[in-house]
Amino acid sequence: MKITLPMMAALTLAFSSPLFAANNILRVAADLSYPPFQYRDTSGKPTGFEIDITNAVCKAVNITCEYVVSSFDAEIPSLMAKKVDFISPLGATEKRRKSIDFSDFIYHIPTKLVARKGSNLQPDAVSLQGKHIAVQQGSIQEMYVNQFWAPKGVDIVMYADQDSIYQDLAAGRLDGALSPGVAVTYGFLNKPEGKDFVLTGPEVRDDKLFSIGSAYGVRKGDEKTQKLLNEGLAKIMADGTWERVKQHYFGDLEMKVTRMEPARVNQ
């Protein structure tokens, strides 16, 4: 079949983001290497807390979500290049707000240091000087350690995904890792390979680097997608769906964020 210039233009429009949304399909960036938040089930299907929440949000506003799998550090570039329509939950930090906008908050989890039992390591540069500490590339934790720990002699080792971090912890190639505490608990500590490890010390926080919660990332100025996601979030919060999904994965752990509008906060 001969493709004319008008036909080519029509095909280009058909696969642009606005028409995807008009056809009730939104493309979601996900890395699927972060159990229990994002991972593949035994059949290879995306699942996990964030996936179930996202599916519920999309269902609440009659949108179909299609997951586009990539590494975590590639998600914001993919959004800005219009390869996806929004990003699955990530920390709504001051730095990220300079590049992208956010939906309302979805949940909060503390950042913690995981280390071998009996090591007595604490999440500070003095305790960790000369130690090999892992972080995931592109994460808030990476920004924190590069600013506060690396200049003081902590050896920072970056990984593309959490699973690789867990493998090297168990193999003894790392002294510890700085990660979201819930992800470590449910993705590593409750498994046989994590039995010799523990979360140690207080929550690691910084008012400028860390947000008070995670939210969907949307392109700057994409108020249509932002509004749609916020509408879906409000619906699943109100009808109890969010709480049911949270209970399924985390039981009574408190994960709600009391302030709900990071996208409208100017910092």
Residue 4 forms part of a structural domain: no
Q: Indicate whether 104 and 116 sit together in one domain.
A: no
Q: Indicate whether 29 and 100 sit together in one domain.
A: yes
Q: Indicate whether 101 and 120 sit together in one domain.
A: no
Q: Indicate whether 79 and 126 sit together in one domain.
A: no
Residue 115 forms part of a structural domain: yes
Residue 173 forms part of a structural domain: yes
Q: Indicate whether 117 and 200 sit together in one domain.
A: yes
Q: Indicate whether 120 and 67 sit together in one domain.
A: no
Q: Indicate whether 200 and 83 sit together in one domain.
A: no
Residue 259's pLDDT is what? 57
Domain housing 125: 111-204
Q: 62-97 in b/e burial notation, b at 16+ Cβ within 10 A?
A: ebebebbebebebbbebbeeeebbbbbbbbbbeebb
Q: Indicate whether 148 and 193 sit together in one domain.
A: yes
Q: Indicate whether 45 and 173 sit together in one domain.
A: no
Residue 259 forms part of a structural domain: no
Q: How many domains does the chain have?
A: 2
Residue 192's pLDDT is what? 96
Give per-10-residue mean pLDDT for the chain (267 aa): 42 40 84 91 95 98 95 95 96 92 93 96 97 95 96 97 96 97 90 96 87 94 96 97 95 76 44
CATH number for the domain harbouring residue 199: 3.40.190.10
Predicted TM-score (pTM) of this structure? 0.71
